Structure 1
Amino acid sequence: MIGLLLAAGSALVAAFVLAPAALLRGTYGDFDDGAALQGAVGRGLVEYWRGGEPQFPALLGRLVDYWFRWHAIKVVITSMMLVVFALLAVALWRRYLRDAAGYAVGAIGATVFTVLATGLLIVNIQSTAVPVVALLPLLAGSAPGSDIDETSREMREALTEPAGSPALTVLLGEVERYHWVMVVVAAIVLGAIGLAAAALRKRRVPGDARVRFMHRTLTVIMTLTACLLLLVVTVSVLSATNPSDALLAAMGITTG
């Protein structure tokens, strides 16, 4: 059982890295290269900004569809990763409690991988829900002096005006939605952690050193995870209520 779960977990990690590109290459092969994707995002945003219409132009619309599919594939994979690593952690903790002390390290590792899979799932749900904003960080490495530099400058100036362009209004709305999605999903996971912590506390058995160690370890991991999620929720709320700065930050534009 443990061997099968380890094999499944390894396969899913490999799929997380390789599957999106492999599955989408036939339809979106022109975005397969990182530099080509970055260049396409820059051209798509410049075209959108200069077009002055709220609807995405063909290139940007195709990029959004591609990024949606890319992250939707990763949502499926990370969901399976979460289940597999959680089952692996349970199996290893049970082995540890049955006088197999050497399984403690593996149980802790599987628990940490479960937390990491949860984080990847949250991020990919957010990117699937609002793919256009998830594309914007790709602009940060654009070559100096390119058209995107001029567009970025115009966008920054437009944010100071009472009425921005239709494109800017759409982008600001998408940035708000992007961060509120993170708030909702992270809050759901926080609630699940709270329920798990309450159930763990109720099942605690006094006097057993191995059980006490397991409970302390899981409590520390859940507490650290909850603290990190609270930080994420706080930052996301601030970003959602100040979409102008969040938009500039996503594009790597300094506000100075």
Structure 2
Amino acid sequence: MSTTTPTTNPPGPPRTAGLPVRAATALTALAAVLVPAFVLAPGPVAARLSGGGYGRRELEDRLSDSFVDYWVAGERSFPPGLRGVVDYWSRYHLVKAVIAALLLAVLVALGVLLRKAYLEAGGLTTGRRAALASAGAAVTALGLFALAMVMANVQGAVAPFSSLMSMLPVHRSHGELAETLGQIRQGLAAYPDGGQGPPPLKVMVDDFGRYHAVLAVAAAAVALSAAAISAVSWRRFAAAAASDRRTRRLYRSSGLCWALLAAAVAVIAAANTATTADPAPALLAFFEGGW
């Protein structure tokens, strides 16, 4: 007589209320590594890529000195000192943008897991469902911060010269730098002056326009994406059964939040588009300490 041994399926990865614990833990750990890396890694990596690094105070001093040299030289091309600072700053923001993008991807993946777990959390206590909702809200907030960091650092990587100008001590300048800034203000007040302004001034205005164009494009893309996600959320809200309060509450909140985000980012896109079209007045406002 033969006996048959019942087959058993190998155990799957541990799950808690539909949440794959191992995957969620791995994503959380990866995010915990990327957050300090965003702060600590860009300086050393940019220094290696550009052949030289700067501390904050040294960077400001080098910028002030080389900025004056650039203005006095009266040429479009950067002198070696300013070129080194600009190259370093571009790579610094590029590294930050890459790390922020990786963090954003990790947070999106973690947010998807948490949302799915929340929708499947029917058998959990109210406290555990609230914990899942709180975790989802925290991940969403961190994701929006990471998105903002991606946008800001792409902006700095593409237009590092304008990003660097924010480090000039326009409120407390003296000596040659004060004289240089005064001449720049005069030039911007009359810009474009029939195209007869100094070449460095034209470079500053063009780069400042590029700086805001990058943010305008990025903000427009985010606004359209947020509007699309909001529309999908509202459709899922409408399709959910009236008795499924948890699902309807989730998609209603999602639709509202993404709609508000789309509206806010659309305002940013419009403002930066206007500055891109006519950057000289905004640049003058900066050099006058207006922002």
The TM-score normalised by the length of structure 1 is 0.92
Is 1:181 the equivalent of 2:214? yes
Is 1:103 the equivalent of 2:127? no
1:98-144, Cα deviation, whole Å (9 max, x unpaired): 22412000001111111111111111111111111111101146743
Higher radius of gyration, 1 or 2: 2
Distance change in 2, residues 1:231/1:113 (3 Å): same
Q: Which of 173, 186, 206 is the equivalent residue of 2:241?
A: 206
Instruction: Using the TM superposition, name which of 107-116 and 232-241 deviates more.
Output: 232-241
Instruction: Report the number of matched residues.
Output: 252
Distance change in 2, residues 1:240/1:222 (3 Å): same
Residues 105-144 of structure 1 mapped to structure 2, 5 A cutoff: 105-140=134-169, 143-144=172-173
TM-superposed CA distance for 1:80, in Å, is: 0.6
**What letter matches 1:4 in structure 2?**
A
Taking only aligned residues, the RMSD between alpha carbons, in angstroms, comes to 1.8
Q: Which residue of 2 aligns with 1:196?
A: 229
- SS in structure 1 opposite 2:52? helix
Q: Which residue of 2 aligns with 1:74?
A: 96
Q: Which residue of 1 aligns with 2:205?
A: 172
Aligned 8 A contact 2:42 2:96 in 1 = yes
- SS in structure 2 opposite 1:159? helix
Instruction: Using the TM superposition, name which of 209-218 and 61-70 deviates more.
Output: 209-218
Is 1:232 the equivalent of 2:268? yes
Is 1:152 the equivalent of 2:187? no
**What letter matches 1:164 in structure 2?**
G
Is 1:35 the equivalent of 2:57? yes
TM-superposed CA distance for 1:6, in Å, is: 1.1
Higher relative contact order (CA 8 A, sep 6+): 1
Aligned 8 A contact 1:183 1:236 in 2 = yes
Q: Which of 87, 94, 117 is the equivalent residue of 1:65?
A: 87
Is 1:13 the equivalent of 2:35? yes
**What letter matches 1:188 in structure 2?**
A
Whole-Å separation in 2 of the counterparts to 1:24 and 1:177: 22
- SS in structure 2 opposite 1:28? coil
**What letter matches 2:271 in structure 1?**
V
Unpaired segments of 5 or more residues in structure 2? 1-22, 122-127
Aligned 8 A contact 1:133 1:250 in 2 = no
Q: Which residue of 1 aligns with 2:46?
A: 24
Distance change in 2, residues 1:73/1:211 (3 Å): same
Whole-Å separation in 1 of the counterparts to 2:265 and 2:169: 26
Distance change in 2, residues 1:249/1:140 (3 Å): farther
**What letter matches 1:242 in structure 2?**
D
Instruction: Using the TM superposition, name which of 145-154 and 119-128 deviates more.
Output: 145-154
Distance change in 2, residues 1:142/1:67 (3 Å): farther
**What letter matches 1:192 in structure 2?**
S
Aligned 8 A contact 2:233 2:252 in 1 = no
Q: Which of 238, 243, 251 is the equivalent residue of 1:215?
A: 251
Distance change in 2, residues 1:56/1:144 (3 Å): closer
TM-superposed CA distance for 1:250, in Å, is: 4.1
1:11-47, Cα deviation, whole Å (9 max, x unpaired): 1111110111122344323x1x111111111112111
Aligned 8 A contact 2:275 2:282 in 1 = yes
Aligned 8 A contact 1:136 1:250 in 2 = no
1:220-244, Cα deviation, whole Å (9 max, x unpaired): 3212321221221122122223312
